[in-house]
Chain A
Amino acid sequence: MLSTIEFYRQIYRIRRFEETILENFASGIFFGTTHTSIGQEANAVGIISCLLPSDIVFSNHRGHGHFIARGGELVGLFAEMMGRNTGVCGGRGGSQHLYWKNFYTNGVQGGIVPLATGAALAEKYKNSNALVVVFLGDGTLGEGVVYEALNMASLWQAPILYVVENNHIAQTTPIEMGLAGTIHDRFHAFRIPCTCLESSDVERIAITAHNLLEDVRDGKTPRALVLDTHRFAPHSKGDDTRSAEIIQNLREQYDPLKILSGRINHADIIKIESEVIHEITEAFQQALASPYPIPADKCRLSEPENDVYAT
């Protein structure tokens, strides 16, 4: 397991990265939209810190934290969101469509869950030791294909950990209006053992994840982890319908940085934060200085017979 200081650094790195995005979005340097995970960073860091390099992570529209926790390059992610040539997907994907080593995201809710399941089965059939972690939100549980995937994962015993980050709100719709029954029962129905954890404490999350991942890896079997979590920032940029008071309350109670800060001495925190701020600023500037892709090179299909449709 990582040291407390290292956990703090990783969470703060995601926090500062995403704050930088929100702070600079209005200036127009980022294309499209963004979904930040501010407040939820301990999930990404806690779970991904338990993985081996050969393991595979599937994420979703709110995937920057997962990407950074996996070790993805900060410049590459900034640049991708700025539509630059040096982006991890050359500017083709943007915020929601990232690929880096064994890390995949897509922007359609739930659609990636069967793919993650298939990837886990492939690793099992290849007799590799790799497992898959896929991150879902509570809102994703409205998509039918998720249950098709869970059914097959259980039938065929895929080595995969389903992580539901339950932040209690799907864009603007509170969970009570979008989800009948319980999340736990959904997994239980498919005989996928499910652990629920109400905590933003990265060290608790990591211990829980570590045990579940051992089950998945050694038993070649699916597991589920439901994390009770809280998003402090809007779904996207300026679309939060919750009151400032509610958000303030969440920040006071559930901030993973605040929880960790009681375990680290203040001088270390100051040092980590200044190092990370420097790292993020450098990455941001480097991405900003990199060129835009040339449409004639980038906007063609792989087959030469296809027309260039951007000139």
Chain B
Amino acid sequence: MMCMPPDTVLKSLNQALHHVFSTDARVYLLGEDILDPYGGAFKVSQGLSTNYPERVLTTPISEAGMIGVAAGMALRGLHPVVEIMFGDFLTLAADQIINHIAKFRWMYNDQVRLPMVIRTPMGGRRSYGPTHSQTLEKLFLGIPGIEILAASSLGDPGEMLANAILQSEDPVLFIENKLLYPLSLFSVRDSGDLELETSSDLYPVYTLRICGAPPPDLTMATYGYMAELALQAQHQLAFEEEIFTEIVVYSKLSPFQIDPLLLSLHKTSRLLTIEEGTLTLGWGAEILARCFEQVGNKIVTASRLAAHEHPIPASKPLEEYALPDTKRIISTVHHLLQRGECS
């Protein structure tokens, strides 16, 4: 089979699935409407049922059931992948995720392993309305026993997925923001004015700065699709206003290490967290708390940017208003820099 190197996030994820199916017979896929020619609602699973019909199980509309079945398969040595059509539907399987798969290894005293991956698209800006647009991973962040990863266009999202499927011994929740799918990978873009630093972790932390710029004044911490908006804001701030920032993008949201962010914060002393989920008790709150615990005396100013605290509206203008965008990132950066000067 001819296999062009992937140029989009969607192709990267799809090719990674084909790769793991071809190299490891323990890999199975369960999900709704994943058979060809449909290949899943967002086409990430396309082609798998044609090539591996016996290992692709199209399921009834039973999120809890399919995650439980996959967990049973994982307990018995297979490496199942579950596609949940919309991340919003993870709530249907919350008991399976929290009280079963996240618990078994630990509560059975490390005597079992559950190597399984639940992949799911999250996020808005497609006008799907309140129950098909949310960014709900915050409900699962911090639950011991499950790793939560978020793809972005940085690095190799497909490789990250393949590692989660084949190398992780523990259950993984793999978050894919819907707007990432058609995006070109950062590695194939013309981004000569950016310097990208990649940590050596299996699921790296990425740090981005403008090449040859003066020391940055502010750090933006983010993940997933929000990294794209942060990159746009970083570019505009640098080239239109000569405000220089550093972006730190997490691939592994939970459990996570704060240190790579502290390295940047040592330089900037100013922090903005950006997430697409709602603000209160969210990802940014934890990031800020950890930073203040570690280097509170070094932080001049900090803020969080997130979705407004109401359900995601269907109407496009309402939805755009609800979610963080480049404009709001830039205005929050302005605000933080002014606050920093006053203090």
Query: Chain A interface (Cβ within 8 Å of chain B)?
Result: 56, 88-90, 92-93, 97, 99, 104, 106, 108, 111-123, 125-126, 144-145, 148-149, 151-152, 155-156, 301-303, 305-306
Interface size class of B (residues with CB under 8 A): 35 or more
B215 interfacial by beta-carbon distance below 8 Å: no
Chain B residues in 8 Å Cβ range of A149: 65, 68-69
> How many whole Å from A290's CB to the nearest CB in chain B?
15
Task: Report the Cα distance A302→B145, complex, angstroms.
Answer: 8
Q: Is there contact, CB below 8 Å, between A302 and B72?
A: no
Q: Is there contact, CB below 8 Å, between B95 and A115?
A: no
Knowing A115-B72, A305-B255 touch, does A148 contact B60 (C-beta < 8 A)? yes
The closest CB in chain A to the CB of B96 belongs to A111
Task: Report the Cα distance A126→B28, complex, angstroms.
Answer: 12
B227 interfacial by beta-carbon distance below 8 Å: no
> How many whole Å from B302's CB to the nearest CB in chain A?
22
> How many whole Å from A162's CB to the nearest CB in chain B?
14
Q: Which of A93, A121, A155 contacts B107 (CB 8 A)?
A: A93
Number of A-B residue pairs, CB cutoff 8 Å, is 131
Knowing A149-B69, A151-B60, A152-B59 touch, does A126 contact B255 (C-beta < 8 A)? no
7 residue pairs, one from A and one from B, having the closest CB atoms: A118-B72, A114-B68, A148-B65, A118-B69, A99-B108, A122-B76, A148-B62
Task: Report the Cα distance A123→B70, complex, angstroms.
Answer: 13
B64 interfacial by beta-carbon distance below 8 Å: yes
Q: Is there contact, CB below 8 Å, between A145 and B72?
A: no
B66 interfacial by beta-carbon distance below 8 Å: yes
Q: Is there contact, CB below 8 Å, between B72 and A120?
A: yes
B166 interfacial by beta-carbon distance below 8 Å: no
Which of B75, B95, B96, B99 neighbours the largest number of chain A CB atoms within 10 Å of its CB? Answer: B75
Q: Is there contact, CB below 8 Å, between B75 and A114?
A: no
Q: Is there contact, CB below 8 Å, between A156 and B72?
A: no
Chain A residues in 8 Å Cβ range of B279: none
Knowing A92-B109, A305-B257 touch, does A117 contact B72 (C-beta < 8 A)? yes
B111 interfacial by beta-carbon distance below 8 Å: yes
Q: Is there contact, CB below 8 Å, between A152 and B66?
A: yes
Q: Is there contact, CB below 8 Å, between B106 and A92?
A: yes
Q: Is there contact, CB below 8 Å, between B257 and A114?
A: no
Q: Which of A119, A301, A306 contacts B72 (CB 8 A)?
A: A119
Task: Report the Cα distance A93→B64, complex, angstroms.
Answer: 23
> How many whole Å from B246's CB to the nearest CB in chain A?
23
The closest CB in chain B to the CB of A156 belongs to B57
The closest CB in chain B to the CB of A123 belongs to B76
Which of A97, A106, A120, A152 neighbours the largest number of chain B CB atoms within 10 Å of its CB? Answer: A152
B176 interfacial by beta-carbon distance below 8 Å: no
Q: Is there contact, CB below 8 Å, between A113 and B255?
A: no
B100 interfacial by beta-carbon distance below 8 Å: yes
Chain B residues in 8 Å Cβ range of A125: 28, 73, 78
